[in-house]
C-alpha cells in the first residue's frame, strides 16, 4: 500500500509529537509536568451552557443533520454579532457554519487554490495551515518574521512574494503562535495589496474575543467590496471553551461560499448539531461570561509577561491571551533541543519555534492559557531556574 505521497511527506501532528517526548515518563510529585503545548482554555464552559445542552439533548431533532452551512438561527445570530462588532453589514447568507476553524481553513483553501498554486503565510505560521497546504500540493510561501516589529509582518515583503500562481495571503490575528495583534492599518494595507493584485485575503480571527475592550476592530468588513476577496475564519472553540464540539465559521462572498458549501457537503455534511446549539447559546447568553473570562485571561497574560521580563534570560517577542513567543536562553541549541532541555530539566513542556516554520530556532511557544492562575508563578520560577 502506498499512501498519497503529499500526505506521507507531512510530519506527524506537532503537539502529539512534543507530548511523545514525555510519554510514559514519571515526574516527581514536587515538580509535576506543566504542559504548555496546546492552546486550549484552562477552564470548562459555564454550567448554564452545559445545562442547556443537556436539556436540548432530549429533543430528537438535535441529533439530525442541519443545513450544510449551518442552523439558520446561528448564521443569522453570528452575522448580526459580526455586523455590530465591525460596524458593517454582514448578512446571514455570507456566514457558513463549519466544524471548527481548522476545517474553515481547509475548506477556504480548497475552494481558492489547487495543486501548483501558491499561498503566502507569515512566519512563524500556525502549523496546521502549512500542513494542509502541503497536503493539497499548494506551495506555502513564507513571509519573513519580524521579531523586531513584535511579529507584525510587512506589507512590502508580501508585495514582493506575489506571483502569477499566488491565490491568497493568510493572516492570523491575534496570532498563533506569537500572540501578536496586527493593527487595523496594517490589515487595511494587506487588503489593499490583495485587492490590487487580485488575490484573496484570508484572516483567521480565532482569538479576537480575547482582545481588550476598545482595542478597535479592523474596518475590513466596512469596506463596500469586502465580499470580493475577503474571507474571515473564526472559531467558537476558545471563546466558549467548546473545543470538543467542533464549531467555527467561514465568512465570504456568495460565489466563494457556494464553492465552500460543495466541499462541506462532502467532508462533513454539516457541523455537529449540538455544537451549533452551544454556539448559538453562547452568542445569545454568554456575553458577560466572555467579558469576565477575557479580563481574567488578560490579567494572566500580564502576570506572565511581567514575570518573564523580571527574571531575564528569556526574551519576550510578543504575547497574547493564549501564547507567549519567547527567545530561549540557549543560543547554541536548536529550538527542539531547547524545548527538550526545558522539559527534561524543569518539567515545562513547550513547543519549539521550528514547528512553526523556517528561521525559528531561537524561539519557543508557551501556551500559558492552559494552566490556572496559581500555576503561573511556578512556571516563572522554573523558567528563571532554567535560565540561571
Member of 101, 110, 264, 371 binding ligand PLP (CB under 6 A):
101
Q: Could you tell me the CA-to-CA distances from 224 to 89, 219, 302 in Å, in that order?
A: 9, 10, 37
Q: Whole-number minimum distance, CB 28 to ligand PLP, in Å?
A: 30
Nearer residue to ligand PLP within complex by CB, 251 or 347: 251
| Number of residues counted as binding ligand PLP (CB under 6 A) | 13
Torsion (CA) 287, 291, 293, 296 in degrees, nearest 10: -170
Both ends of the chain: CA-CA distance in Å? 51
Member of 123, 173, 237, 276 binding ligand PLP (CB under 6 A):
237
x/- track of binding to ligand PLP for residues 28-67 (CB under 6 A) = -----------x----------------------------
CA 187 to chain CA centroid, Å, is: 17
Q: Whole-number minimum distance, CB 117 to ligand PLP, in Å?
A: 21
Q: Whole-number minimum distance, CB 280 to ligand PLP, in Å?
A: 16
C-alpha 301/C-alpha 324 separation (Å) is: 8
Name the one range near ligand PLP by CB under 6 A: 85-93, 94-102, 159-167, 289-297: 94-102
C-alpha 154/C-alpha 257 separation (Å) is: 29
Residue the block writes with cell 493584485 = 197
Q: Whole-number minimum distance, CB 329 to ligand PLP, in Å?
A: 26
C-alpha cell at 6: 503529499
Member of 49, 140, 172, 342 binding ligand PLP (CB under 6 A):
172
Nearer residue to ligand PLP within complex by CB, 36 or 386: 36
Q: Does 176 bind ligand PLP (CB under 6 A)?
A: yes
Q: Does 147 bind ligand PLP (CB under 6 A)?
A: no
C-alpha 22/C-alpha 38 separation (Å) is: 15
Q: Whole-number minimum distance, CB 109 to ligand PLP, in Å?
A: 13
Q: Does 282 bind ligand PLP (CB under 6 A)?
A: no
C-alpha 156/C-alpha 161 separation (Å) is: 9
Q: Which 3 state secondary structure label does DSSP give 388?
A: coil
C-alpha 36/C-alpha 24 separation (Å) is: 18
Q: Does 249 bind ligand PLP (CB under 6 A)?
A: no
DSSP string over 311-335? H-SSEEEEE-SS-EEEE-S-TTS-H
Interface positions with ligand PLP (CB under 6 A): 39, 100-102, 126, 172, 176, 204, 206, 235, 237, 243, 248
Amino acid at each position: 500500500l502506498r499512501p498519497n505521497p503529499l500526505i506521507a511527506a507531512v510530519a506527524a501532528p506537532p503537539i502529539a509529537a512534543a507530548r511523545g517526548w514525555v510519554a510514559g515518563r514519571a515526574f516527581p510529585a514536587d515538580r509535576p509536568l506543566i504542559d504548555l503545548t496546546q492552546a486550549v482554555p484552562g477552564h470548562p464552559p459555564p454550567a448554564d451552557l452545559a445545562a442547556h445542552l443537556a436539556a436540548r439533548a432530549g429533543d430528537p431533532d438535535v441529533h439530525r443533520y442541519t443545513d450544510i452551512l449551518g442552523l439558520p438561527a446561528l448564521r443569522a445570530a453570528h452575522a448580526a454579532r459580526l455586523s455590530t462588532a465591525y460596524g458593517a453589514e454582514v448578512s446571514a447568507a455570507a456566514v457558513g457554519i463549519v466544524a471548527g476553524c481548522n476545517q474553515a481553513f481547509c475548506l477556504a483553501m480548497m475552494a481558492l487554490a489547487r495543486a501548483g498554486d501558491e499561498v503566502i503565510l507569515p512566519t512563524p505560521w500556525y502549523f496546521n495551515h502549512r500542513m494542509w497546504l502541503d497536503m493539497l500540493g499548494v506551495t506555502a510561501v513564507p513571509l519573513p518574521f519580524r521579531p523586531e516589529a513584535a511579529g507584525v509582518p510587512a506589507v512590502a515583503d508580501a508585495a514582493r512574494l506575489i506571483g502569477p500562481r499566488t491565490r491568497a495571503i493568510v493572516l492570523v490575528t491575534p496570532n498563533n503562535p506569537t500572540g501578536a495583534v496586527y493593527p487595523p492599518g496594517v490589515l487595511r494595507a494587506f487588503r489593499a495589496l490583495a485587492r490590487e493584485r487580485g488575490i484573496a485575503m484570508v484572516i483567521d480571527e480565532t482569538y479576537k474575543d480575547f482582545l481588550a475592550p476598545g482595542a478597535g476592530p479592523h474596518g475590513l468588513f466596512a469596506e463596500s467590496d469586502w465580499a470580493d476577496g475577503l474571507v474571515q475564519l473564526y472559531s467558537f472553540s476558545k471563546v466558549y471553551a467548546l473545543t470538543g464540539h467542533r464549531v467555527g465559521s467561514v465568512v465570504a462572498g456568495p460565489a466563494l461560499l457556494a464553492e465552500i458549501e460543495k466541499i462541506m457537503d462532502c467532508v462533513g455534511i454539516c457541523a455537529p448539531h449540538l455544537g451549533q446549539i452551544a454556539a448559538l447559546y453562547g452568542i445569545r447568553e454568554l456575553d458577560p461570561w466572555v467579558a469576565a473570562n477575557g479580563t481574567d485571561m488578560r490579567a494572566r497574560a500580564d502576570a506572565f509577561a511581567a514575570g518573564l521580563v523580571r527574571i531575564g534570560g528569556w526574551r519576550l517577542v510578543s504575547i497574547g491571551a493564549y501564547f507567549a513567543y519567547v527567545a530561549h536562553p540557549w543560543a547554541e541549541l536548536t529550538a527542539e533541543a531547547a524545548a527538550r532541555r526545558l522539559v527534561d530539566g524543569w518539567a515545562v513542556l513547550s513547543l519549539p519555534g521550528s514547528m512553526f516554520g523556517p528561521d525559528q530556532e531561537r524561539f519557543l511557544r508557551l501556551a500559558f492559557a492552559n494552566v490556572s492562575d496559581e500555576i503561573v508563578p511556578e512556571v516563572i520560577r522554573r523558567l528563571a531556574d532554567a535560565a540561571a
